[in-house]
Structure 1
Amino acid sequence: MSSQSLLHPRNIHQGRYNFAALIKALPALEAVICTNPSGEATIDFSDNNAVILLNQALLACYYKVQFWLLPPGYLCPPVPGRADYVHYLADLLARSFDNVPKGRQIALLDIGTGANLIYPIIASQSYGWQVYGSDTDPLAVKTAKVIVASNPALRSQVQVIQQQGNAMFSGVIMPQQRVHLTMCNPPFFASQQEAEAASRRKWVNLGKAAQGQQRNFAGQQHELWCPGGELAFINQMITESQLFKSQVCWFTTLVSQQKHLVPLQKLLRSVGAVQTEVIEMRQGQKVSRILAWSYLSAAQQQQWQTDAVL
């Protein structure tokens, strides 16, 4: 199996995985390499251990992360698709700059960063941004902090924050702090039953129908579902974003279901968002959407080049 096709032009995971380079970065990966029907090297993507080893190799090879380990059962996301979100955000911010902005003067907040810390790793190592990752789960926060502390490449550029209660921005964005971008991969499902049904469909697609309710990429309850699903979650995010309208250049989130865009855009108009964008990411047959909004005009956003206070 190759890495995702139709990735963003700056995504370094184009084409098939370079298993020779990945094994050099993580020799343990070689033990789980197999061949597909065409005789090409791959891994068994229904094997959670193999997926974890692949991620460890990718992070070591391309992102200077030598230690990366998750608590049992926590979400192990595929790296190539996650990188696309970061690169499209860089394009979004580039509108207010002469080119794609790099360096620690750019601040990014990842809401619900999880134990895996994937987005902060990719953003900090791809663009040199200062990245803040927040989460409500104490074990996820503890694990993410260990990953940061264990990797010199991350220590000065990534900070992990424990969210307080259900608030997404309060207690995370400090008074007077300015953040260029926020991002979020929200829990998509409204219930455990929805998540398990989706998991069964995935296993069927992998030819492993007998695996039942197991998840090859794992995931905890708060990572996969919440009351009301992604629509309720993003509604709350938009509502809270009004409190930080002058401190954030672009708020963004992934939206998995296209039907949710209409009510979300209606809500954005009602709360006074000045700019809204829907950015499509196509990876093979999968289509993901980034919903972005700002309470600042394009002219006001351009001022962030010179007067942003991080």
Structure 2
Amino acid sequence: MNNKKQKGFHLRNPHSGRYDFKSLIEDSKELKKYIKNNPSGDNTIDFGDEKAVLELNRALLKSYYEIKHWGVPEGFLCPPIPGRADYIHHISDLVLKSKKDIKVLDIGTGANCIYPIIGNRSYGWKFIASDIDPVSVENAKEIIQKNHLGDSIVIKLQTDKNNFFKGIIDEEYVDITMCNPPFHASLKEALSANKQKRDNLNKTRSSNLSEKLNFGGQKAELWCKGGEILFLKKMARESLLFSKKVGYFTSLISKGENVKPMEKILKKLGAWDIRVIEMVHGNKISRIVAWTFDSKK
């Protein structure tokens, strides 16, 4: 078992500093109308404004990843790109530098398709991106088509919500799988967590935040029956069936109390190597768990 703590962003993550709004505006004129000054006089945006966050993402994707066409349907998750990029850069350390034609499976890619975009543009990886929601799949396909990434990123609809790899991985070998699981066990729990986050942010801001702050996201993106730990345990059990077809399985873990139960079930299943990477970004702590059944790894 290998545990390590990473303070700050990965060394290869280009988003480790403050947003360069001056440069971003040059690449994306639409972002300009959302720029405002913070108390220190620096440029920023209102991160409680969904449209502002959407335009910031579009500008980042255009400036750093040459993505000219990107968007998500109303009510779907609009993810913060720096943290998503960090996941990609950390799992890149699991891949042999000499290996070419890396293939990655993104489980639950969502309507935004962020991980495949960043992984392909940063490392040239090829992706299979799956989701159980038909609307998310169609939007992700549109993003890929409009940006001419069809040769590198394949979007698949997972027709059985109880499966992660079945029906998605065929005969091909997949070097890495990745996933950002639903955090919560119910809508009530998700709403409660969102309220707490708003209250904490309001303590440091003079104006009240929108009720919708950071709560874009459909059911499958934010909560599932049994919550994160049941989701992860089901993934671990199914991963054993694909032990010969996948190099490393990985997933984010939002809640620290879920790490030890996940390690326990992976040991019980016979995982050869289990790694937990703890990432500390300011006050936020997130974790990646990675495991393989291949002793050669």
Answer whether contact 2:194 2:215 (CA < 8 A) is retained. no
Q: Choose which of 101, 105, 108 in structure 2 pairs with 1:109.
A: 105
Q: Choose which of 59, 68, 71 in structure 2 pairs with 1:69.
A: 71
Whole-angstrom distance in 1 between the partners of 2:57 and 2:277:
26
Residue of structure 2 equivalent to 1:194:
189
Whole-angstrom distance in 2 between the partners of 1:217 and 1:124:
27
Residue of structure 1 equivalent to 2:3:
none
Residue of structure 2 equivalent to 1:168:
164
Q: How many equivalent residue pairs?
A: 287
Alignment of 1:196-211 (within 5 A): 196-207=191-202, 211=209
Structure 1 pair 162/44, CA: closer, same or farther in 2 (3 Å)?
Answer: same
Q: Which runs of 5+ in 2 are unaligned?
A: 1-6
Whole-angstrom distance in 1 between the partners of 2:215 and 2:169:
30
Whole-angstrom distance in 2 between the partners of 1:130 and 1:77:
21
Alignment of 1:20-31 (within 5 A): 20-31=22-33
Q: Choose which of 7, 10, 28 in structure 1 pairs with 2:9.
A: 7
Structure 1 pair 217/42, CA: closer, same or farther in 2 (3 Å)?
Answer: farther
Whole-angstrom distance in 1 between the partners of 2:155 and 2:184:
25
Deviation string 1:72-102 (CA, Å, 9 cap, x unpaired) is 0000000001000000000122xxx2x375x
Question: How far 1:222 sits from its partner (Å)?
Answer: 1.0
Residue of structure 2 equivalent to 1:307:
none
- The structure with more helix, counted as a fraction of residues: 1
- Structure 2 residue 120 is the aligned partner of structure 1 residue 124: yes
Runs of 4+ in 1 over 6 A off after TM superposition: none
Residue of structure 2 equivalent to 1:306:
none
The alignment's C-alpha RMSD in Å is 1.5
- What is the SS of the residue equivalent to 1:8? coil
Residue of structure 1 equivalent to 2:61:
59
Amino acid across the alignment from 1:165: D
Larger CA deviation: 113-122 vs 19-28: 19-28
- What is the SS of the residue equivalent to 1:109? strand
Deviation string 1:177-231 (CA, Å, 9 cap, x unpaired) is 1100000000010111111111112222332785574233511111000011000
Residue of structure 2 equivalent to 1:238:
236
Q: Which runs of 5+ in 1 are unaligned?
A: 302-310
Amino acid across the alignment from 2:264: K
Residue of structure 1 equivalent to 2:151:
156
What is the identity percentage for the equivalent residue pairs of Structure 1 and Structure 2? 46
Amino acid across the alignment from 1:52: L
Residue of structure 2 equivalent to 1:136:
132
- What is the SS of the residue equivalent to 1:46? coil
- What is the SS of the residue equivalent to 2:93? helix
Whole-angstrom distance in 2 between the partners of 1:100 and 1:194:
45
- What is the SS of the residue equivalent to 1:188? coil
Amino acid across the alignment from 2:159: Q
Structure 1 pair 81/100, CA: closer, same or farther in 2 (3 Å)?
Answer: farther
- What is the SS of the residue equivalent to 1:17? coil
Residue of structure 1 equivalent to 2:41:
39
Answer whether contact 1:56 1:68 (CA < 8 A) is retained. yes
Question: How far 1:271 sits from its partner (Å)?
Answer: 1.1
Structure 1 pair 256/111, CA: closer, same or farther in 2 (3 Å)?
Answer: same
- Structure 2 residue 289 is the aligned partner of structure 1 residue 294: no
Deviation string 1:267-290 (CA, Å, 9 cap, x unpaired) is 111111111110111111111110
- Structure 2 residue 84 is the aligned partner of structure 1 residue 49: no
Residue of structure 1 equivalent to 2:141:
145
- What is the SS of the residue equivalent to 1:168? coil
Whole-angstrom distance in 2 between the partners of 1:75 and 1:185:
12
Whole-angstrom distance in 1 between the partners of 2:118 and 2:112:
11
Deviation string 1:141-173 (CA, Å, 9 cap, x unpaired) is 000000000002x22211111002121100100
What is the TM-score normalised by the length of structure 2? 0.93
Whole-angstrom distance in 2 between the partners of 1:131 and 1:160:
8
What is the TM-score normalised by the length of structure 1? 0.89
- What is the SS of the residue equivalent to 1:51? helix
